[in-house]
Amino acid sequence: MLRGIYVPLITPFTIDDRVDLDTAEKLAHHVLDQGASGLVGLGTTGEVAMLSDEERAAVIATCVRVTGERHVPLILGVSGNDTRSTVAALRALPDGVTAALVPVPYFLRPSERGVIAHFEALAEASPVPLVIYHIPYRTGQQVSAATLRHLGAHPMIAGVKYAAGSVDEDAVNLLADLPTGFDVLGGDDAFISPMLALGASGGILASAHLATDQYVALVDAWRSGDAARARSLGHRLAKLSATLFAEPNPTVIKGVLHQQGLIASREVRLPLLPAGAQSIAQAMLAITG
């Protein structure tokens, strides 16, 4: 199920700070037209923490409509650091959601036994398969390859978004021996090429709002064994992603999308601030250069 490039859709805002659903829908179709395998809704890139419950519901409905029309998967972010509230959020998911992207419990930093118990309880309760979101520099919780491998054996745990901030020893260990039916999606944009080379099945990449077709080509190149083309694409896209993360995500991405005429406004919500002109210019140069 989890193969190819998934775009964690931004949430466009109007100048007067309303969610621009029409633009979100057009952008979703645009990245799918460029070859994205599916969408991720209500991720960090979508500024989910800054959305009201009503706005989140409207974004979900838009994503469900687009992915239903296009017959592609929709992975929906489900946040929460305690088991009981996360179970409730999973049970409330609407029809049309393919899988749920659930972070490792953040701030609490349970033991690895606690992490296993947490995800096993979620998997037993969830109406859709889970994708574990492993991002220790945000959660404060490192999870070993052995723990991910153990969880990956559960039939309702489909994979992991792996965003450890590097291609670390656990990533190499995990990809060397994956459970059947368990996929690894790279989540660090700058390291997607080496993760694919090691056997990741794709990526959830904010940078893939831009040059979507090139990220798709990168996956295809590694899959077909065209290492020379994959390395060339990987180096170029790593430079692009570095410019897009020069300021907090998704501020530069929104600035570039606005420059390209794909969204009507580059507005973000506090505590984020719009990206500076120089950061946007550097990213534009990386795309066209």
- Catalytic residue numbers, as ranges: 133, 161
Token pair, residue 244, equals: 């897009």
Cβ atoms 115, 152 nearer than 8 A: no
Residue in the block written with tokens 């992207």: 101
What dihedral do alpha carbons 237, 243, 244, 247 form, nearest 10°?
Answer: 160
CA–CA dist 195, 75 (Å, integer): 20
* Nearest CA among 122, 115, 181 for reference residue 148: 115
SS (H, E, C) 85-151: HHHHHHHCCCCCCCEEEEECCCCCCCCHHHHHHHHHHHHHHCCCCEEEEECHHHHCCCCCHHHHHHH
φ and ψ at residue 143, rounded to 5 degrees: -120, 130
